[in-house]
A and B are shown apart, each in its own frame.
Chain A
Amino acid sequence: MTKTGKPTLADEIREATGVDVAECYQCGKCSAGCPMARYMDMGPSQIMRLVQIGTDEARRRLLASTALWSCVGCLTCTQRCPKDLDPAAVIDALREMANREGTVPHDQKRILKFHEAFLKNVEYAGRMSEVPLTGLYKMTSGDLFSDVLLAPVMLAKGKLPLVPRVIRGRKEIRRIFKACLRKEDE
């Protein structure tokens, strides 16, 4: 908490994840082991440091970071943290904030579009099916022509079912989606 009583970024992160970033002593083990570090503008240890700093400028840099989107969720950072902190959960929380505040960097939008297409598919049918997922992703991301040559081979190998998978409880799934999105607004 700041002197004015306004929660700090570290408070927001603790509220969302239970992680106290003050405990991070910047050993760098998480960044050293991160398989995606070379695709990121900052590694997990730098993300932890910026949350500790917590100024408006630090917050702005964090929420515009490509690292939030290039994180593949492999949990290497969390597994190896000598302080038992959970950088992967901190990144998840920051990614949600960035998406809510609309600060997703332009060159990371493909990844956001993929996640959104995936969830749309699940919200509608209860399960993911390759054809509608790929179709929706390609339409919304503009990434139209990659992998088109894979489709016929997948079909021939029986790996591309054309009839989408749909569950009986899809109304229930839609209600669950609505309730989760409502919680978000609270």
Chain B
Amino acid sequence: MTTIGYYPGCSLHGTGRELDMSIRAVAEVAGVILTEIDDWNCCGASAAHSLNHNLAVALPYRNLALAEEQGLTEVLAPCAACFSRLKGTTVRLRRSDALLETMRGITEHDYHGTVRILSMIDFGSRLLDEGLAEKLTAPLDGLKVAPYYGCLLARGEEIVEGYDAEQPTGMDAALEAAGCEIVPWNFAVECCGGGFSMSLTEAVVDLSNAILTDAEEAGADALVTSCPMCHSNLDMRQRTINEAGLGPHNLPILYLSEVLGLAAGLQPERLGLDRHFVDAMRVAERSA
């Protein structure tokens, strides 16, 4: 059996809980063992790189070092921000021996650069290769979806290796395998307002409204994301957006792992679909 390291990140124990539930459920179906990095810490998110550049590298560095010490060579970081911070750190360390020395001094961990960080998109493709493809026995019967990448799953050439930053297609194969129909749309890599949910809510309302509007105009039944921050802006804030006089929207926001889980015939509650703010249970009825 394949073992992949797992860095859930802080959101997946709170606001992004259904992402964690659905990841664990589909990994089990695919026969992949997820081993959580023991005692992992927060990656620092936007706050660390906003205020202290050393901290922005040191916090991800400790996680990379722990993963290496625990014998993990590949680690899934589902949250787009965590992925970008962790993978970005591996890129920076590869480029600069001086930075590696500084981080060794600051963290008192010796990291030797052996860990590869996987995004949700890498993970989805990987599960299909590991045998999930044959287990998708309850396809979603032509559910029209708008695949949404947002910012940090699409930017930084060395971070998202091999995926096109402006027209990414990394989720397509998994979505099609799950029986979805992909609608062409314009906002796949536009920003939702990210970490400004609380501190600059008006920007989140404007930006997320534009994304929801375009997905609806393209005829999508649902939007599919892989990021808990985007999810909370588009799902939890959808009511705030409607209350601001925009929309009104009523678009289910699904995680890629939820779509795969439904197509594998798993119960929607096991995937956390009943925990969404905008009703997502109606999507489950589409699975054959």
Contacts and interface: CB of A to CB of B under 8 A. Distances in A.
Contact of A147 (B58, B62, B198): B198
Nearest to A168: B39
A52 interface: no
Interface in B267-284: 275-277
B14 A130 contact: yes
A1 interface: no
Contact of B42 (A116, A128, A157, A184): A128
Q: Tell me what chain B mostly uses at the interface: helix, strand, loop, or mixed.
A: helix
B286 to A, nearest CB: 22
Interface in A125-152: 126-130, 134, 137, 141, 143, 146-147, 150
Nearest to A125: B42
A118 B41 CA distance: 13
Contact of A126 (B13, B42, B45, B236): B42
A165 B54 contact: no
B51 A76 contact: no
Contacts of B198: 114, 134, 137, 143, 146-147
Interface string B90-109: 00000000000010011110
Nearest to B196: A72
B2 interface: no
Contacts of B102: 183
A119 B47 CA distance: 6
Nearest to A131: B14
Interface string A171-186: 0110111011101100
B50 A95 contact: yes
Q: Tell me what chain A mostly uses at the interface: helix, strand, loop, or mixed.
A: helix
A150 B243 CA distance: 13
Nearest to A99: B51
B117 interface: no
Interface residues of B, number: 53
Interface residues of A, number: 59
Contacts of B14: 129-130, 159-161
B40 A180 contact: no
B144 to A, nearest CB: 25
A22 interface: no
B62 A115 contact: no
Given A159-B17, A176-B62, A179-B106, A111 B199 contact: yes
A160 B17 CA distance: 10
Interface in B213-255: 236
Nearest to A170: B41
The 7 A-B pairs of least Cβ separation, nearest first, read A118-B47, A74-B151, A114-B199, A75-B155, A128-B10, A115-B47, A35-B191
26 contacts: A35-B193, A36-B203, A70-B203, A73-B151, A74-B194, A75-B152, A76-B155, A79-B157, A96-B52, A99-B51, A113-B199, A114-B47, A114-B195, A115-B47, A115-B51, A119-B51, A122-B47, A134-B198, A160-B14, A161-B14, A173-B41, A173-B62, A176-B55, A176-B62, A180-B58, A183-B54
Interface of B: 10, 13-15, 17, 39-42, 44-55, 58-59, 62, 84, 102, 105-108, 151-152, 154-157, 165, 190-191, 193-196, 198-201, 203, 207, 236, 275-277
